[in-house]
Amino acid sequence: MSLRMSETEVVMSRVCQLSVFLAFIFAVSVAWSAEESDGTKQSDAKPTSVDMKSISYDPKSVEVPVGGSIVWTNKAFTNHTATSEDDGKIFDTGEIKPGETSRPVTFDKEGEFNYHCKIHGKTMNGTVVVKTR
């Protein structure tokens, strides 16, 4: 009695192993693409940009999904901030110098968040609307 596999058995064994491997790769890729399409992997997405002008934000109102983030870029000649109306408890970019960009601010809760520039007062204001997809 021979313990060696025939050539056909070796080929069938390799085909079976390859099939299992390909099924695994397919399952992982489907899971990964589903994770990205439902928005739960938002942290990898590019932040939304808001420009700071002389005494305004552009756009004045911006919408992001839950988990999304925003960066503010100062396109003016003076320093600016983006500070939430609750004295910066939700977010505060700190002072941003002309030509510089804030660190990303991530929004984890749905809602509407009003903000202003601490330097120029509440006449320079904007709104962040955070929605679930």
H or E, element range at 32: helix 7-37
Query: For residue 68, how many other CB atoms are within 10 A of its CB?
Result: 24
| Of the candidate ranges 4-13, 25-34, 123-132, the one whose mean pLDDT is the lowest | 25-34
Maximal C-alpha separation, the chain: 92
β-sheet with 83-84: strand ranges across: 61-65, 121-131, 111-117, 83-84
Higher pLDDT, 41 or 89: 89
Per-residue pLDDT tens over the stretch 89-127: 999 999 999 999 999 999 999 999 999 999 999 999 999
Q: What is the pLDDT of residues 59-90, one digit of tens each?
A: 999 999 999 999 999 999 999 999 999 999 99
Residue 70: phi and psi, rounded to 5, are -130, 145
Name every residue whose Cβ is closer than 8 Å to that of residue 88 and which is 6 or more positions away in sequence: 118
pTM exceeds 0.75 for this model:
no
